Chains A and B, each alone.
Chain A
């Protein structure tokens, strides 16, 4: 994992390639948006969170010395920043009633299904929620998730497994649900 090849985009950032910042945003916008939306469950909030995350990221990248830039693993780093931003937003939101969420949705059935899944995800303990989201919604391999969260791969697997079991019992109504040993 640590010996992974350098990210060519990090190298281009370090060398001052003028389009590197744009390419970075283009490369990660959609996935970070999906992640933020899964956590926040609203469009506007997700857009703002991603904007915030990139602003923080770029402000840091501007201050890093060239060597550090060159060795950046940008993707997991952006995921971490996005999670922090989304977490802060959730914390702030908790003071306000959260029930305004479905109003944004319209009547499209598929979107309601999405909201049901996300609502169920939202009821998981945070570590399980993050692990399941990264594994299935973001479709990331365990190694990458471990890089993002800093948790060992085995831990990630356990969290995904437990989260999935809980979701199953919430959504499919498996009466035998709960955490498998």
Chain B
């Protein structure tokens, strides 16, 4: 056995292996590959202006999952990770461009269908959020109504909890859900902020507080005070009630559009 030859062969083999390593490189453009990995492995986020100031919005492939104000992108990323167990990275432009536009429009008060991904939550929570999502701008509904609409009459208090932890405030307008007695109640970003937001949307909190329900003898119908039907009632026909019960006892029947809860 000739040692120098063996060592020379080994050296040739090592060189061949190293050369092989050097020759293997990804075939596609590195930028595209990196974007592809991030698109598949992380959710994305962007910042956008809203009525409560600058907020961050995170979305997965199925839609928006989280909206929150934060003191820095880092804080938002950490909160998202803690809450959803996922990493987020800044949105690549083409990936969420249209979503970003829709969110900005919706937050500016336009009618825009923003896809929401509420999958990481319980069925009850999701039903509640779906109901609240459809409360129109300029109107409010009490907790008891949301509970009934979500198929869980009597779950008023639980609705309050869902509102307090709403992952997508503003997009699911939990500020439009008020106490059963007509007072605006608390809000994740402060009770005053809730009042300010509602006024911005054309709701008069004082008016609702006195009389959450309004009826008219012309139709014999009782509505939530902010229902679009209630807004058409002429001042001279306007009857106000503290509860639907009072109104029904006075001979009015619940509006079919805003469906006030008879027991409330």
Q: Which residues of A contact B (CB under 8 A)?
A: 13, 15-19, 21-22, 25-26, 29-30, 33-34, 37-38, 43, 46-47, 50-51, 54-55, 57-59, 61-63, 66, 110-111, 113-114, 117-118, 132, 136-139, 164-165, 167-168, 171-172, 174, 176
Contact = CB atoms under 8 A, between A and B. Distances in A.
A61 B8 CA distance: 46
Contact of A21 (B28, B42, B74, B75): B42
Interface of B: 1, 6, 9-10, 12-14, 16-21, 23-28, 30, 33-34, 36-38, 40-42, 45, 73-78, 81, 84-90
B38 A22 contact: yes
B89 A139 contact: no
B23 A114 contact: yes
Contacts of B19: 113
Contact of A168 (B10, B34, B73): B10
B87 A62 contact: yes
B78 A47 contact: no
Contact of A25 (B27, B28, B37): B37
A30 B25 contact: yes
Nearest to B45: A18
Contact of A117 (B17, B73, B78, B85): B17
| 9 closest cross-chain pairs (CB), A and B | A137-B21, A136-B17, A16-B77, A16-B78, A16-B74, A58-B41, A62-B86, A55-B41, A117-B20
B204 to A, nearest CB: 41
B28 A47 contact: yes
A136 B18 contact: yes
Contacts of A63: 85
Contacts of A15: 74, 78
Given A54-B40, A172-B9, 7 more contacts: A33-B26, A43-B27, A55-B40, A136-B17, A136-B18, A137-B24, A176-B1
A172 B12 contact: yes
Contact of B13 (A21, A33, A34, A167): A167
Nearest to A34: B24
Contacts of B20: 38, 113-114, 117-118, 136-137
Given A63-B85, A132-B17, A47 B24 contact: no
Contacts of A47: 26-28, 33
A21 B78 contact: no
A95 B239 CA distance: 78
30 contacts: A18-B73, A18-B77, A21-B42, A21-B87, A22-B90, A25-B34, A25-B37, A29-B33, A30-B26, A33-B26, A38-B21, A47-B28, A47-B33, A51-B36, A58-B86, A61-B87, A62-B86, A62-B87, A110-B23, A113-B16, A114-B24, A136-B14, A136-B18, A136-B20, A137-B20, A164-B13, A165-B10, A168-B9, A168-B12, A174-B9
A95 to B, nearest CB: 26
